[in-house]
Chain A
Amino acid sequence: MQEKIGNPPVEQEFKWVGTRQVRPDGIDKVTGRAKFGADYNLPGQLTGAVLRSPHPHARIVSIDTSQAAALQGVKAIVTRDDFSDQESEFVPAGEMLVNYRDVVRNVMAREKVLYEGHAVAAVAATSPIIAKRALKLINVEYEILPHVIDVLDAIKPDAPLLHDDMITAGVEPAPTTPSNIAKKVEFTLGDSGAAFANADVVVERAFDTKPVHQGYIEPHACLADVSEDSAAELWVCTQGHWIVRAHCARLLGWDVSKIKVNASEIGGGFGGKTVVYLEPLALALSKKSGKPVKMVMSREDVFKASGPTSGAHIRVKMGATKDGRIVAAETELFYQAGAFQGSPVGPGAMCAFAPYDLEHVKSVGYDVVSNRSKVAAYRAPGGPISEYAVESVVDELAREIGMDPIDFRLKNAAKEGTKAAYGPQFGPIGLIETLEAAKNSDHWKAPLGPNQGRGVASGFWFNIGGETSVTLNLNEDGTLTLMAGTPDIGGLRASLCLMAAEELGIDYPKIRPIIADTASLGYNFLTGGSRATFSSGMATVEAAQQIKTEACRRAAQLWDMPEEAVLYEDGYVRPAGDNAGPQDPMHISEIARMAGKTGGPITGVAKINAQGAAPSFGTQIADVEIDPETGRATVTRYTVIQDAGRAIHPDYVEGQFQGGAAQGIGWALNEEYIYGDDGKLENPGFLDYRIPVASDLPMIDTIIVEVPNPRHPYGVRGIGETPIVPPMATVANAVRDATGLRFTELPMSPPRVLKAINEARAAGDTNLKV
């Protein structure tokens, strides 16, 4: 079931925006024609392969590649010696920051290997078989060091240190000894410590979550071709090819202009394809061998060496009055970052209480390194973890004071004018509308069966704008070519074409969009932060306006009248009024046809730093059924309600809602990185790391709320990330409702649920309901 609710209610005022057109890249994707990262090949290409560390923590004593180099068919080998060390400098990667000193060590281990799967060397050979054989001939001598995996173990004073020089930032005075805590962040508003005195009820809980992987079905892949004069071309599946270019140029010491990056179709990213792994290695191998080099990660390598998101330990304390007002809230967050600093604990701390209008808040976060692969952004990085804990406590508070959980949230909900604890004051936002829609939904009112429970939770994500370029070329027959630079992961090209069609009055099927390479278009920040439809949409509208202005100018010239006397309307130029002139309206295709005679090509070139991104709030409802025999929790009904600002293409907005919810359900119930005592990942495959499959899920209902973003020409907010924020608490609250037990550890997998049920039964727990 799909619904749409507008506030204020909007009549359909658009011809194209808001309609459900078939996506322009659709045919290629249902016929197998679309080219993804691993689908590019060049004549004479070599196969690249990576030697990875078998140890979670070890010093590299020596690397001997001589035997491998002597193997026939091996054309190049790279190790740490092929990459210069980098200064410590933080640069944006999605909504997170990366430090080049760490990036160079993550793509190729230097002094130490810091996790199982850490790259140690790479080879390029004439066949995959030879490449594999060559890896076995590389002799690495390791001095094995003690390792630490868990975040709470890693902060102990006697924990093995990953980085001897890591002094916790953000602490005054600075610590004098190194630790695994890279950074402390803190956001406060009012005086939460004192405000707890005003609470009638205080709930405090500690939660633990496990690292989960983005789980894109397409492994990382690229093809690099470097010429003798170091002109490089790269084909890669990435969320941001300008970012890949920047990172590779920096790591290799090459000029940016020398590297042309083509974004292939991308088989999912969810934040995980915002950083580089194989790309600098492939370029270095291609440069050394003088041949094209193709590299594709195995699924095992994807799990072991590419970023999951953090596991965490979270403490939340919240107090409320009997009549349902939250008076104070505190959280302490420990996020594991993997082997290098840069967990999303900052955004996690900022998101934690964002859905609520609170006076006294304190969020403290710690960024903790341990011997796991470096985390990468994952859909609303940091938010799902902290908001899972907070929304679980909110549910407990509502229970304690005997209030409906939606009414409790409504009473405390952030609204226009609310000052968030992390700083800004919200503009028009749609949280209350999503809560009211939830309350009025059929789902919320439907009866529950035996062993079933219902949960609700809300969530928030900031959304971002940023540097964006779009070029529109009006072709000589009046059709349009649209060039954008934000890779299209889930229907972006369709949405951009809808906005261009709406602006210019050119029919949607007459517009052909492409994702342009880094040499053909101005700079673009990556697809992430829920910015692509917002930012590239804004740029598309600006470029379209340039075309309209130019079309009016050309008509004014033809008609010999002042420019301001010509209007552009629904694809036609026309005199502004009866007094302006008697000319018949002229279609844009006629203007296009005559462009050569009236001044040359007509294009719109927008290059903006998109401002005015607005947050998206959502509320979700889950029903779960517990099997008391096995502990399995099955989601039997699910509804996602979210403020989209405006849904440019409702199908793909619903798709984001449904996909985010499904990932969150997996996070809640199944998915986790499982390490052995030896510090090695025990489930690096889809069989044992079980993402939701079709038979695990029900249909996922959606309600699109539209509270337009006033800063965007079509009211767009980003919508891709918020959907994964509420599910863990939504499901946990439903499991609480079904079982009577509060689960404070994810995932709520059958063994954990069964154990809790059995323990509660043995202890005679009167809360137990199954």
Chain B
Amino acid sequence: MKHHIQMSLNGDPVEVLVEPSQTLLDVLRDELGLTGTKEGCGTGDCGACSVMVDNRLVCGCLVLGPEVAGKSVETIEGMAEGEVLHPLQRHFLEHAALQCGICTPGFLVAAKALLAHNPDPTETEVRYWLAGNLCRCTGYDKIIRAVMDAAAEMRQAPTARTELKDQLQHAGA
């Protein structure tokens, strides 16, 4: 018996029927066709399915679909605003912080959550925050640099500051 759930997905209202055993990741990918969120392990070890639920960073594979009823879900597909990339997305490109790119959506969502939480992280703080996101291609060097540079830009740029303020308000900080 499927559950009928309503949620906010990247700011828009969404209704969907989900099996009780389906994870949020399954719902996003298989029911809603949003395949930007990836499955690398299904056990919460790799972070490829990182998404935000009510401004909290979670692994989509560890949340059951019916649990997000009435909640706000944000995925990689909601990160750019129209044609304007988020500074993290831009810095990932400029730093070549991806090779194969399968882990990239998860890293971006997790890094955005970090910067909402801590706009001026040290390298060590970035490394520990992102320790739940596995990348097998890059050795993390360029990813860490991209996140640090994006953070610096977001601390400077007025538009970025506004966005950050909004995020902090969302996060209740």
Tell me if B94 counts as interface (CB < 8 A to partner A).
yes
Cβ of B155: which chain A residues have Cβ within 8 Å of it? Answer: none
Q: Which of A32, A38, A659, A687 sits near B77, CB closer than 8 Å?
A: A32
Contacts of B92 in A (CB 8 A): 26, 30
Within 8 Å by CB of A687, from B21, B45, B99, B136, lies: B45
Q: Please name all residues of chain A whose beta carbon is closer than 8 Å to the beta carbon of B37 when the two chains form the complex.
A: 32
Q: How many whole Å from A128's CB to the nearest CB in chain B?
A: 8
A30–B137 CB distance below 8 A: no
B142 within 8 A of A: yes
User: Who on chain B is nearest to A663 by CB?
Assistant: B136
- Inter-chain CA distance A35–B145, complex, in Å, is 26
Contact status B100-A216, CB under 8 Å? yes
Q: Which residues of the partner chain B approach A652 to less than 8 Å between Cβ atoms?
A: 96, 99
B139 contacts A36, C-beta separation under 8 Å: no
Whether a CB of chain B sits under 8 angstroms from the CB of A268 is yes
Q: Cα distance A700–B138 when bound, in Å?
A: 10
Return the CB mask of B128-142 against A: 1 if under 8 Å, else 0. 101111111111111
User: Across the interface, do B141 and A31 meet the contact criterion of CB distance under 8 Å?
Assistant: no
Chain B residue at minimum C-beta to C-beta distance from A20: B96
Closest to A638 in B: B139
Residues of B within 8 A of A131 (CB): none
The CA of A36 and the CA of B94, in the complex, are separated in Å by 22
Interface assignment of B143: CB less than 8 Å from any CB of chain A: yes
Tell me the nearest residue of chain A to B43, going by C-beta: A685
CB distance from A659 to the nearest CB of B (A): 5
CB pair A658 B85 closer than 8 Å: no
Among the interface residues B45, B48, B99, B140, which one has the most CB atoms of the partner chain A within 10 A? B99
Closest residue of chain B to A218 (Cβ to Cβ) is: B102
Task: Give Cα distance in the complex from A22 to B85, angstroms.
Answer: 14
Residue of A nearest to B30 (CB): A41
A661 to B40, CA, bound (A): 22
**Is the pair A490, B93 in contact by a Cβ cutoff of 8 Å?**
no
Q: What are the residues of chain A within 8 A of B123 when measuring CB–CB?
A: 699
Q: Is the CB of B96 within 8 A of A695?
A: no
Closest CB in chain B relative to A550 CB, distance in Å: 34
Count residues of B near A (Cβ-Cβ below 8 Å).
Answer: 59
Chain A nearest CB, measured from B113 CB (Å): 15
In whole angstroms, what is the CA distance A20 to B93 when docked? 11
Residues in chain B near residue A697, CB distance under 8 A: 127, 139-141
The answer to whether the Cβ of A219 comes within 8 Å of any Cβ in the partner chain is: yes
Evaluate contact between B41 and A686: CB separation under 8 angstroms. yes
Cβ–Cβ contact A23 & B93, under 8 A: yes
Cα separation A292 to B111 with both chains bound (whole Å): 37
A31 to B95, CA, bound (A): 16
A29 lies within 8 A of chain B by Cβ: yes
From A23, A30, A35, A656, contact of B89 by CB (8 A): A30
Contact, CB under 8 Å: A217 / B35: no
Q: How far is the CB of A130 from chain B (nearest CB, A)?
A: 11
Chain B residues near A571 (CB, 8 Å)?
A: none
The yes or no answer to A110 lying at the interface (CB within 8 A) is: no
Cα distance A694–B43 when bound, in Å?
19
Q: Which residues of A contact B131 (CB under 8 A)?
A: 693-696
| A770 CB within 8 Å of chain B | no
Cα–Cα, bound, A30→B104 (Å): 6
Q: Which residues of B contact A33 (CB under 8 A)?
A: 36
In the bound complex, what is the Cα–Cα distance between A509 and B96 (angstroms)? 16
Contact with A along B105-137 (1 / 0, CB 8 A): 100100000000000000110111011111111
Bound-state CA distance A687–B42 (Å) is 11
Q: Is A71 an interface residue (CB 8 A)?
A: no
Whether A29 and B136, one on each chain, are in contact in the complex, defined by CB atoms closer than 8 angstroms, is no
Min CB distance A395 to B, Å, is 23
B152: interface (CB < 8 Å) = no
Q: With A270-B136, A694-B144, A700-B139 in contact, do A659 and B38 touch (Cβ < 8 Å)?
A: no
Q: Which residues of chain A come closer than 8 Å to B98, judged between CB atoms?
A: 26, 29-30
Q: In the complex, which residue of chain B has the Cβ closest to the Cβ of A689?
A: B45
Asked if A659 and B137 sit within 8 Å, CB to CB, the answer is yes
Please determine whether B38 and A267 come into contact, CB atoms closer than 8 angstroms. Answer: yes
Number of interface residues of A (CB under 8 A): 59
Interface membership of A413, Cβ < 8 A: no
CB-contacts of B77-101 with A (<8 A): 77, 79-80, 85, 89, 92-96, 98-101
Of the candidates A31, A217, A296, A661, which one forms a contact with B76 in the assembled complex, judged by CB atoms under 8 Å apart? A31
User: Given known contacts A22-B93, A490-B100, is B136 in contact with A217 (CB within 8 Å)?
Assistant: yes
Q: Does B133 lie within 8 Å of A694, measured CB to CB? A: yes
| A232 shortest CB reach to chain B, Å | 23
How many Å from the CB of B97 to the closest CB on chain A? 9
In the complex, what residue of chain A is closest to B86 when comparing beta carbons?
A30
CA distance in complex: A697, B142 (Å): 12
Whether a CB of chain B sits under 8 angstroms from the CB of A674 is: no
Is there an interface contact between A655 and B142, defined as CB atoms closer than 8 Å?
yes
A515–B20 CA distance with the chains assembled, in angstroms: 39
Please, which residues of chain B bring their CB within 8 A of the CB of A269? 100
| Chain B proximity of A176: nearest CB distance (Å) | 46
Report chain B residues within 8 Å CB of A687.
Answer: 43, 45
B43 touches A27 (CB 8 A): no
Report A-chain residues with C-beta under 8 Å of the C-beta of B42: 298-299
- In whole angstroms, what is the CA distance A123 to B3 when docked? 27
Q: How far is B103's CA from A32's CA once the two chains are assembled, in angstroms?
A: 10
The distance from the CB of B85 to the nearest CB of chain A, in whole angstroms, is: 7
Interfacial residues of chain A within 231-287, with CB under 8 A of chain B in the complex: 265-270
| Chain A residues, CB < 8 A from B75 | 32
Q: How far is the CA of A675 from the CA of B98 in the complex (A)?
A: 33
Most buried by B among A30, A686, A687: A30
Interface bits A507-528 vs B (CB < 8 Å: 1, else 0): 0000000000000000000000
Check: B9 CB closer than 8 A to any chain A CB. Answer: no
Contact indicator A268/B100 (Cβ below 8 Å): yes
A215 lies within 8 A of chain B by Cβ: yes
Cβ-defined contact, B142 with A651, below 8 A: yes
Does B58 sit at the interface, judged by CB under 8 A?
A: no
CA distance A29 to B89 in the complex (A): 9
- Structural contact, A695 and B128, CB atoms closer than 8 A: yes
**Chain A 609-666 interface residues, beta-carbon cutoff 8 Å to B:** 649, 651-652, 654-656, 658-659, 661-663
A30-B135 CB under 8 A given contacts A217-B103, A267-B38, A299-B40: no
CB-CB nearest in chain A for B46 = A686
Answer whether residue A39 sits at the interface, using C-beta atoms and an 8 A cutoff.
yes
Given A30-B89, A218-B40, decide whether A685 and B45 contact each other with a Cβ distance below 8 A: yes
> Per a CB cutoff under 8 Å, which of A34, A661, A686 touches B45?
A686
Asked if A30 contacts B93 (CB within 8 A), the reply is yes
Closest Cβ of chain B: how far from A195's Cβ, in Å? 40
Q: Which of A29, A38, A270 has the most CB of B within 10 A?
A: A29
Chain B, range 32-73, C-beta contacts under 8 Å to A = 33-43, 45-46, 48
Q: Does B163 contact A (CB under 8 A)?
A: no
How far, in whole Å, are A564 and B33 apart by their CA atoms in the complex?
Answer: 56
User: B138–A658 contact, CB under 8 A?
Assistant: yes
20 CB < 8 A contacts A-B: A31-B77, A35-B35, A38-B29, A266-B100, A267-B101, A267-B102, A267-B103, A268-B99, A270-B136, A299-B40, A490-B100, A659-B99, A659-B136, A662-B140, A663-B136, A686-B41, A694-B126, A694-B131, A694-B144, A697-B127
The 8 closest A-B pairs by CB, nearest first: A32-B36, A267-B102, A662-B139, A29-B101, A651-B96, A658-B139, A490-B99, A686-B45
Given A651-B142, A694-B128, 5 more A-B residue pairs with CB atoms under 8 Å apart are A38-B38, A129-B19, A129-B21, A268-B137, A695-B131
